[in-house]
Chains A and B, each alone.
Chain A
Amino acid sequence: DVKVTQSSRYLVKRTGEKVFLECVQDMDHENMFWYRQDPGLGLRLIYFSYDVKMKEKGDIPEGYSVSREKKERFSLILESASTNQTSMYLCASSLQQGANGYTFGSGTRLTVV
């Protein structure tokens, strides 16, 4: 089975801190994604990448950046964490043509205080 691993299940950070969320997939998928999930708002795409060193903005990229130096790893960076970035963050990967959809990690619940 494809496995997508997110480095932390729970994180608590202070306002203004720089936060790194790491994601690793083990099935050689070309595409990787970062979503955030909030009650009543569903899943919203922050950034995605379809190749190493390539990145594309999603629906809500403000306040975030990403890094993809290796095919299996996709990092989400909160440059200066704010309380409105408190959320569940989900990483996902997929084949180039999206067959069989996304495989998601278990999520990181980030609280910014």
Chain B
Amino acid sequence: LAKTTQPISMDSYEGQEVNITCSHNNIATNDYITWYQQFPSQGPRFIIQGYKTKVTNEVASLFIPADRKSSTLSLPRVSLSDTAVYYCLVGDLLNAGNNRKLIWGLGTSLAVNP
């Protein structure tokens, strides 16, 4: 099973770009990488998902190298409201029976300072 490792915490300032890396050395061929954001007293919220190379949406980019053993969530020009915990999730999302094998990271607590 894939195991995911993320930094426990990060600090940044408003307007900076923040990159959070997740390590998943044992990622399997069918595994996707998904990132979530969680605010206190709320459920995690989907940010972005990818399989390889680069994916970009309106809020973030996801960089996945060719070996897929890590991934980097990039948040451009963060604001105070981006202060949250960010989770990396690795697993095969295409096969319902594999849902039990999805591996969550323990989360990276990002603090954005004025």
Q: Within 8 Å CB of B42, what residues of A?
A: 104, 106-107
Main secondary structure of the interface of B (DSSP, over half): mixed
Q: Mark A78-101, 1 if CB is under 8 A from B, else 0.
A: 000000000000111010111111
B residues engaging A (CB < 8 A)?
Answer: 32, 34, 36, 41-46, 49, 87, 89, 93-94, 96-97, 99-100, 102, 104-107
Total of A-B residue pairs, C-beta within 8 Å: 67
Flag if A31 contacts B96 (CB, 8 Å): yes
Other-chain contact of B32, A4, A48, A98 (Cβ < 8 Å): A98
Given contacts A42-B107, A98-B32, A56 and B43 within 8 Å (CB-CB): no
Given contacts A31-B96, A90-B43, A104-B44, A45 and B49 within 8 Å (CB-CB): no
Bound form: Cα–Cα A33–B102 in Å:
12
Flag if B94 contacts A98 (CB, 8 Å): yes
Other-chain contact of B43, A31, A92, A94 (Cβ < 8 Å): A92
A residues engaging B (CB < 8 A)?
Answer: 4, 30-31, 33, 40-43, 45, 48, 50, 56-59, 90-92, 94, 96-107, 109
Given contacts A100-B49, A101-B49, A58 and B100 within 8 Å (CB-CB): yes
Q: Within 8 Å CB of B87, what residues of A?
A: 42-43
Q: Within 8 Å CB of B44, what residues of A?
A: 43, 90, 102, 104
Bound form: Cα–Cα A110–B93 in Å:
29
